[in-house]
Structure 1
């Protein structure tokens, strides 16, 4: 509570806060490009078996050659020998049995009209190897999970800015290495490390921006960051359309992070964190710098260590005690918050990536679908910021999840030939999940006290990534029972929306500093 007064004393929402938010928002523009990248780098093109007779046969055109070599509509098998009888009018199979087929031993031929190159065409991730596409995305999300655990704890110990700088470098380096990967295994390794960096950037960008914001502007700043991610989805569709080769696309979305790494050295460490880890002298220096930038130099000069200690005596005392992940479940109120947030984060991410990472299931142009899925976030987040600000966080969180789940469940009842209606329901559900993400990022930061905020964000991020890792596995269950994925994707958000009702409201309250304040 005292730190909120300190921020007002040095200018509130001044020039420093605006500049910091803009600098932290620029990398967020590129985050969607990495998170949703495999919609394009791992897009599946039309394919068929490569023909062993193709080079030796010149008298037949390609269509006739395909007719005698590959069963109609078959992508994973071919005839053992050419079936010349198929060229005859009113022909029937010899001996009344279908000719013997075999797997595509000589590889596949792909349609390059949309994507000149993808990891699918590069390493033949089709037919018996098609599960490797989902494995690559799951490993990336596993990296995001590990990054949440590792960087969440490290930033509480070593600072938000230091970890953010490292993660920018890691994202740029590992993303660039992915574009030069010689094998699928090495590609997956670099994508895993890229996912770790993604987590560190998200966690520390949110914390660093919120911890410098006055109470009244936190919701606005959180939503602005969310809109930057939304804009990044538009950006991804444009970049992917302009760069159809997967290696160049991977490189294009990775190189900007080297620029972010360079300017991150000029970002200011969180004074709130500095106080909590027992570095009041450095915190005072940063506060005076902020006051000077905000045109409040005199007020900043009046601050000294004694004034800082009088403002934050209780918080500095609490910083002398060690805090671990156990503190997330040690006390009753924080334990309830942690359990509820685990449900909310898991379900939001689980259903979101179940929809957003399977664009090729829609019978539309993949670039257009990417734009539509990005566009729906704009009204969804606008409505969410209005309800977050004027109604409350808990209401917004619960309603967004329940509506998303109901939209997905409704798709089960819609016939498959009503393509537009099914797509509209999926887009509406995705918009509600985007609103849920927008709310829960802000809500989680406000529910946890400063001393364990990053550890709490790390736990929340872990649950979200477990959801995103699980989503592709559930989709594979659709091969056995087609409606099962929709039932699970829809039921999970509905249950979590009901669980969110048990979270405390944080509207118009200052960020808590200690566990005792929350209790």
Structure 2
């Protein structure tokens, strides 16, 4: 069959049908933006101290000095997990002895918080931490909840691609959308930490699955020029919009159950899009369901006010394709040939490294001095100009150089951080934000670039496997941040070095700019070799009238 893009070019680039698909698919991503950052507020740890029961007969002086002090950040603060033994200080209080005068507090026996904790309500009325006392000996449970969310995202990335390639983009999109919304709603009724965490894992599976399905569906329906805008200024900015609105919700809704309910309800409205969003005609054709594809294309032509040719596809080819049973593709197809195997390995490295940098810096950004709600907003807002830059680069620069340039920017800035004096806090913060800016730009471009390199028959599977590598990066990223406890520059040195190394690898990817999407594995472009890359550079130099240097006899892959 002729190129799908050529056969459907009569629909135009930006008609009413394309605008409808663009905005509806982008809007379906907003609930994902809510979920992606919700753990910052749901699992937040307010200021807390051991509870002193009112039934204990203590003077006001002893009640005020019932918690031992410790030194943090150069100042004395109350301990969060210890208190003085109540039986002892109650006896001192009954005898009329004063703390610090008649009694040396440093010599008093201490005990754990046997009566629970008192939590500050200045910022949060309640979180899952305050409800189930996930502090002190159980403080590991809060981060574990977020880790299990990313485990769910990992599983969803791995499974959704295969399901979408097998059962269709639209079907998987709405089933996983329902999964994402439904299990988020059930979290409101969690009775313990274990139930909340198990549901959060399932939410993570739906979270990434419907995102990838929506992205691929839009990529296959929209034309080449609009595809770039959709991948950068479409789903990414709508995702960031959800990020930016979440802190506003959290500011006015300080109870975690009500907040969870508020960010879940918009997902219910997305179910109405079933009657507005069609299946991917490109996927239908690849499955031999050409008549169904023609129905969708003719409906699109009618919406655009265009008369579709008859037939859209060649009749002989229609009969030939429909008489054959569609070939089923599996994970093995991503490594079946040498070319696609190399491409898959390089894509995994690319996505893994970008994810480590993106999530590592995202986890570090809320640690900026200031209000947590403002920090949450800035965490999302910095992504908007990054997406705009990504769109401009994809419009005017080739894919490989756009990706490599963004990664070089992010990586080099992170390496410069070790040269900044420790007292220049604002400069360090600015460099971190610039690093996140560059890596976020690359993160938004990697979706469209990967989708353009893989053929239709395994595109969603290829993006899904690459996204799985990205989820591994998100799971590893907290450990990169943790290394800062030993050396505050070490996380940035590691992330910066990995990012720059990946930028160099990106230069050996095939160039997909201005090239039609491949439909079969045989139509894929070849991964560039060092020798081939040098030969192309020499050819460009010769065209400019320059002398060609000696070709180095080195090869790769």
TM-score (norm 2): 0.86
Residue of 154, 175, 199 corresponding to 1:145: 154
**Structure with the largest fraction of helix:** 1
- Whether the 8 Å CA contact 1:400–1:436 is kept in 2: the answer is yes
Residue of 89, 92, 99 corresponding to 1:87: 99
Displacement, 1:30? 2.3
Matched, 1:498 2:504: yes
Q: Compare 107-116 and 225-234 and name the one that shifted more.
A: 225-234
Q: Compare 79-88 and 355-364 and name the one that shifted more.
A: 79-88
Could you tell me how far apart the structure 2 residues matched to 1:324 and 1:330 are? Answer: 10
Residue of 130, 133, 139 corresponding to 1:121: 130
- Whether the 8 Å CA contact 1:138–1:472 is kept in 2: the answer is no
Q: Secondary structure at the match of 1:87?
A: coil
Matched, 1:334 2:340: yes
Cα displacement string for residues 172-196 of structure 1 (whole angstroms, at most 9, x for unaligned residues): 1100011211111110111111111
Matched, 1:397 2:403: yes
Residue of 268, 277, 281 corresponding to 1:258: 268
Cα 1:390–1:203 change in 2 (3 A) is: same
Cα 1:98–1:412 change in 2 (3 A) is: farther
Q: Give the alignment's Cα RMSD to 1 decimal.
A: 2.4
Cα 1:452–1:345 change in 2 (3 A) is: same
Query: 5 Å matches for 1:299-448?
Result: 299-300=308-309, 302-303=310-311, 306-307=314-315, 309=317, 320-448=326-454
Q: Could you list the runs of 4 or more consecutive aligned residues of structure 1 that deviate by over 6 angstroms after TM superposition?
A: 83-86, 315-319
TM-score (norm 1): 0.92
Cα 1:215–1:319 change in 2 (3 A) is: farther
Cα 1:39–1:413 change in 2 (3 A) is: farther
Query: 5 Å matches for 1:471-486?
Result: 471-486=477-492
- The equivalent of 2:67 in structure 1 is 69
- The equivalent of 2:515 in structure 1 is 509
Could you tell me how far apart the structure 1 residues matched to 2:7 and 2:491 are? Answer: 50
Could you tell me how far apart the structure 2 residues matched to 1:346 and 1:317 are? Answer: 42
Aligned length: 509
Could you tell me how far apart the structure 1 residues matched to 2:274 and 2:461 are? Answer: 22
- The equivalent of 2:252 in structure 1 is 242
- Whether the 8 Å CA contact 2:237–2:387 is kept in 1: the answer is yes
Cα displacement string for residues 353-395 of structure 1 (whole angstroms, at most 9, x for unaligned residues): 1222345422211111122222222222222211111111111
Cα 1:57–1:307 change in 2 (3 A) is: farther
- The equivalent of 2:201 in structure 1 is 192
Could you tell me how far apart the structure 1 residues matched to 2:439 and 2:145 are? Answer: 24
- The equivalent of 2:24 in structure 1 is 23
- Whether the 8 Å CA contact 1:51–1:69 is kept in 2: the answer is no
Structure 1: which 5+ runs fail to align? Answer: none
* Bigger Rg, which one: 2
Q: Secondary structure at the match of 1:299?
A: coil
Query: 5 Å matches for 1:144-163?
Result: 144-163=153-172
- By relative contact order (CA 8 Å, sep 6+), the higher-ranking structure is 1
Could you tell me how far apart the structure 2 residues matched to 1:152 and 1:27 are? Answer: 18
- The equivalent of 2:56 in structure 1 is 56
Q: Compare 315-324 and 463-472 and name the one that shifted more.
A: 315-324
- The equivalent of 2:173 in structure 1 is 164
Could you tell me how far apart the structure 2 residues matched to 1:149 and 1:26 are? Answer: 24
Could you tell me how far apart the structure 1 residues matched to 2:205 and 2:98 are? Answer: 54
